[in-house]
Amino acid sequence: MSLIVQKYGGSSVADAESIKRVAKRIVEARRAGNDVVVAVSAMGDTTDELMDLANEVTPIQAPRELDMLLSSGERISMALLAMAIKSLGHDARSFTGSQAGMITDSVHGAARIVDVTPVRLREALDEGAVVIVAGFQGFSRESRDITTLGRGGSDTTAVALAAALDADVCEIYTDVDGVFTSDPRIVTKAHKLDRITSEEMLELAGSGAKVLHIRAVEYARRHGVTLHVRSSFNNSEGTIVYDPERLPEGGAVEESVIAGVAVDLGQVKITVVGVPDVPGAAAKIFKIVARTNANVDMIVQNVSAAATGRTDISFTVPKSDGEKALTALSDAQESLGFESLQYDDQIGKLSLVGAAMRSAAGISARLFEALYEAGINIEMISTSEIRISVVTRADSVNAAARAVHTAFDLDGDDDAVVYAGTGR
């Protein structure tokens, strides 16, 4: 008998009908002879509606109370889902984060899981029940308060349960068929990947692919949890996200060179112009940026102009961090001694990801050539062991993605099907 953890997002349980549909799917997995544990998000827009209500009451919400408020959303969906399963003749029990033993630190709104003690879940499974767990929420032993995990929280709940219960697989149900070689709304020839390594998935998620949250992928990788990303709207096989060192049955996997092309339009570029080219100048700049908690992604430093002894330093940060980084630098202009600041929110980032990149030669040359042939100018470049990212103008990044997708032989035979759903 296998143990399967399934995760359903808000769009999969948006109303009573959807809940009944998901219940049937869970019962099918149970009837096939599996133990089933389900992590569920709040229904549809519940979390946004609760947030609106909180904003009506006060613009500044006490974090402890906000977590208490928002965590009520999953209690509604999980209780309804358990009822729906029971009405189909199978035992089911719902558990809050704290009942499920989802122990976190006390950082409200962005708590990290520190331990999972699924005693009650094991008992319920032993008694033959389907277990439903509230996603997104936990419990701090220290403060004895309810916490929430922040963005991507329900994915993380599912992965943490799979790790703690030593599940055979963690199925992440979503409104797309799996992980694609690129965003099908941009690259119509994108095709679904049957498999991808967790390392590649991590780079794709970090480069703008939205199908899985980076934090859940990290957790899965660290704990050796195999993920299966698939659609809740059909029965097709999705994409297996696996650790090549813990190969799924079937032995060695033929790895393709490139897993996918990701596009990210959520970054801005800040350029510090005329920085004195002396040792420690860059350190000073990024110390000031770090103090604002801005998440710096790419950094490029120009070659110094010999005549002036000055250089330019450009970096990218998420749009939401742009303004505070800019303000902090502007405030420190005198001590840093730079000439001016430039702010550019019309950039796009394209990332090419593939685990085999580390052994295969000529990948970057092929990438730059494809962009050159498509007439696209590269403004910044950064690389990791299995990723190359380039920054282009925002309005040419989609064309860039299509050109690169074709150049690396990723195009499928048919156009990908794009769903109307919102993606969780």
Q: Rounded CA gap, 45 and 47, in Å?
A: 6
Nearest to 402 by CA among 85, 231, 113, 184: 184
Check residue 410 for interaction with its own copies (CB under 8 A): no
311 is in an annotated binding site: no
- Whose tokens are 């005198």? That residue is 334
Q: Among 29, 45, 51, 65, which residue sits at the site for its own copies (rule: CB under 8 A)?
A: 65
Part of the chain binding its own copies (CB under 8 A), chosen from 53-61, 227-235, 267-275, 393-401:
53-61
- Which segments of 300-395 does DSSP mark as H helices, in order? 319-331, 333-336, 363-373
* Site of tokens 């899981």: 113
Q: Which DSSP string corresponds to 109-174?
A: TS--EEEE--HHHHHHHHTT-EEEEETTEEEETTT--EEE--TTHHHHHHHHHHHHTT-SEEEEEE
Give yes or no for residue 344 binding its own copies (CB under 8 A). no
Q: Is 126 in the site for its own copies (CB under 8 A)?
A: no
Comparing CA positions, the residue from 225, 208, 313, 327 lying closest to residue 269 is: 313
**Residue 64 binds its own copies, judged by CB under 8 A:** yes
Q: Does 89 bind its own copies (CB under 8 A)?
A: no
- Distance in Å, CB of 160 to its own copies, minimum: 21
How wide is the angle at C-alpha 15 spanned by C-alphas 12 and 18, nearest 5°? 45
Q: Among 60-68, 217-225, 319-327, 367-375, which window interacts with its own copies (CB under 8 A)?
A: 60-68
53 makes contact with its own copies (CB under 8 A): yes
Q: Is 409 in the site for its own copies (CB under 8 A)?
A: no
Of positions 1, 33, 57, 251, contacts its own copies by CB under 8 A: 57
Q: Applying CB under 8 A, does 76 fall inside the site for its own copies? A: yes
Cβ proximity of 124 and 86 under 8 Å: no
- Residue 379 counted as an annotated binding residue: no
Q: Taking CB under 8 A as the rule, does residue 100 contact its own copies?
A: no
Q: CA nearest 91: which of 46, 127, 43?
A: 127
Which residue numbers belong to the known binding site for ATP? Answer: 7-10, 174-175, 185, 210-211
User: What is the contact surface with its own copies in residues (CB under 8 A)?
Assistant: 15-16, 19-20, 50, 53-54, 56-58, 60-62, 64-66, 68-69, 71-73, 75-76, 78-80, 82-84, 86-87, 92-94, 96, 99, 120, 144
